[in-house]
Amino acid sequence: MSTVVMTGCATGIGASTRKALEAAGHKIIGIDIRDAEIIADLSTAQGRKQALAQALEQSGGMLDGLVLCAGLGAQFRPVGKVVSVNYFGAVELLDGLLPALQRGKAPAAVVISSVASAHLPWEKNPLAAAFESGDEAAAQAIVSAAGEQGGNLAYAGSKNGLTVAVRKRVTAWGQAGVRLNTIAPGATETPLLQAGLQDARFSESIAKFIPPMGRRAEPAEMASVIAFLMSAAASYVHGAQICVDGGIDAQMRPTQF
């Protein structure tokens, strides 16, 4: 039985993915703020340190897989925590668990990004320099100073930075024998989306965010793609970002791919 660490396993896409991976025979070590094997707050340096230490302890220092689902939406306050969880929490676990993944069997990692990652290009991302230098306080300050746009900047900026961080790691991870990919979900029926719909600042834009397929995704539709990427069927897929969005990215950016 292979061992997989998963963040954000308690709800939404993470909960569905856990179910799919367990059905495929994987043992899951979950990390979340509740209902998980490891209870940790990935928005803080101490929480991330705790999560890493416990993940290594519970896995015996050897992992076959890693799935990073933990994330906060644009409506979350304070906005600084959005960049802390979505970017710094994910990248720290990626780097911290790579040695354990190298010891695993046919290891693979999948990171949950977003279609929003392509809406704010890296060269125009105000958070890029802070991400590059690992300056979490600076990134938090930038989104906090952005006023009404702070939530959208924190979300799109952090997801853009996360996809870039994954893509910049593909050479080192490939040489280490560990496949690494992202998926970019569109609007998905999760508690995160429902929280956005209930927020007057974001409800209208979310309600109008309907893809060409005419409906939002179910979490299980994300989980099935993640399960594929974690499987031997995806043995040569590395460094890819797969849009699982009902066609919204193609509709919005038909000439960019």
For the beta carbon of residue 253, count every other beta carbon within 10 angstroms. Answer: 12
In whole angstroms, what is the distance from residue 144 CA to residue 153 CA?
10
Residues 6+ apart with CB under 8 A from 180: 94, 108, 109, 110, 111, 166, 169, 170, 173, 238, 239
Peptide bond into 99 cis (omega under 30): no
Tell me the β-bridge partners of 241. Answer: 182
Owner of token pair 């300050």: 141
Catalytically annotated residue among 155, 185, 211, 226: 155
Amino acid at 169: R
In whole angstroms, what is the distance from residue 127 CA to residue 198 CA?
27
With beta carbons less than 8 A apart as the criterion, state whether 186 and 152 touch.
no
236 part of the active site: no
> Which pair of structure tokens corresponds to residue 34?
């509740």
Among all residues, which ones are annotated catalytic?
155
